[in-house]
């Protein structure tokens, strides 16, 4: 069980679309929109976990054309989300952020987040500690996973909001938002590359 908890911690804290976009939303828009966004990520991540545990995700991703469509939808949505973060509050932008990403955006991100599927698959298919009761083990894993997931995402949100509150120059703030967006896209590209 301790090995599982450590795996959860290290797999979630490492930069991926969820945590990077959480910090980006916090930096660009503040706590209130950030909390709504994290709420969507939370619900979405638990939906992904349910899809992985039930085997539906594996069945769907085994269909090559469906996997390709989902991968491209993921890339397109993450580019859109990264652009919203990168150009939030900037004077020069091809896309003004009309509204902060919210609950639905977080939910949508997790549905197409390659890292969410990879992490959930690794965690729920491995690290057996109660082989005599798979159901109990799965429930305990979900509880541990969420008990670690929530504070880590709130810490990333806090880090983003702290950056916002530092009263940095507009150019520095814009550079931070762009760096977060580019980092998010690099992680997604690596995840997609690893799956091909």
- For 101, half-sphere exposure in the C-beta direction (CA atoms, 13 angstrom radius) is 32
pTM of the predicted model, to two decimals? 0.76
Reported as a single tens digit per residue, the pLDDT across 12-33 is 877 778 888 888 888 888 899 9
Reported as a single tens digit per residue, the pLDDT across 119-134 is: 888 888 888 888 888 8
CB 61 within 8 A of CB 114: no
Instruction: Give the Cβ contact number of residue 83 at 10 Å.
Output: 17
**Per-residue pLDDT band at 190 (split at 50, 70, 90):** low
Region 144-151 average pLDDT: 95
Burial of residue 147, with CB atoms counted within 10 A of its CB: 0-12 exposed, 13-18 middle, 19 or more buried: exposed
Q: Quick one: pLDDT band at residue 43, thresholds 50, 70, 90? A: very high
CA 111 to chain centre: 10
**Domain layout of the chain by residue ranges:** 31-195
CA angle (38 as vertex; 35, 43 as ends), nearest 5: 125
> Is there a contact between 181 and 83 (Cβ–Cβ < 8 Å)?
yes
- Written as six digits, the tokens of 129 are 């500690």
Q: Both tokens of residue 47?
A: 């939906």
- Check residues 148 and 82 and name the one with the higher pLDDT: 148
């Amino acid at each position: 069980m301790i090995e599982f908890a450590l795996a959860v911690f290290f797999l979630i804290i490492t930069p991926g679309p969820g945590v990077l976009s959480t910090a980006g939303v916090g930096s660009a828009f503040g706590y209130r929109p950030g909390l709504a966004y994290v709420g969507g990520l939370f619900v979405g991540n638990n939906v992904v976990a349910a899809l992985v545990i039930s085997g539906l995700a594996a069945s769907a991703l085994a269909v090559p054309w469906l996997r390709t469509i989902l991968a491209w939808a993921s890339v397109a949505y993450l580019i859109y989300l990264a652009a919203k973060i990168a150009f939030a509050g900037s004077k020069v932008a091809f896309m003004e952020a009309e509204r902060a990403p919210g609950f639905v955006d977080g939910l949508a991100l997790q549905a197409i987040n390659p890292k969410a599927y990879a992490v959930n698959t690794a965690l729920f298919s491995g690290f057996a500690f109660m082989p005599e009761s798979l159901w109990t083990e799965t429930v305990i894993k979900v509880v541990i996973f969420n008990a670690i997931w929530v504070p880590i995402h709130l810490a990333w949100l806090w880090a983003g909001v702290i950056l916002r509150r530092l009263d940095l120059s507009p150019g520095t703030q814009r550079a931070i938002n762009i760096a977060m967006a580019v980092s998010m896209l690099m992680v997604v590209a690596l995840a997609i590359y690893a799956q091909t």
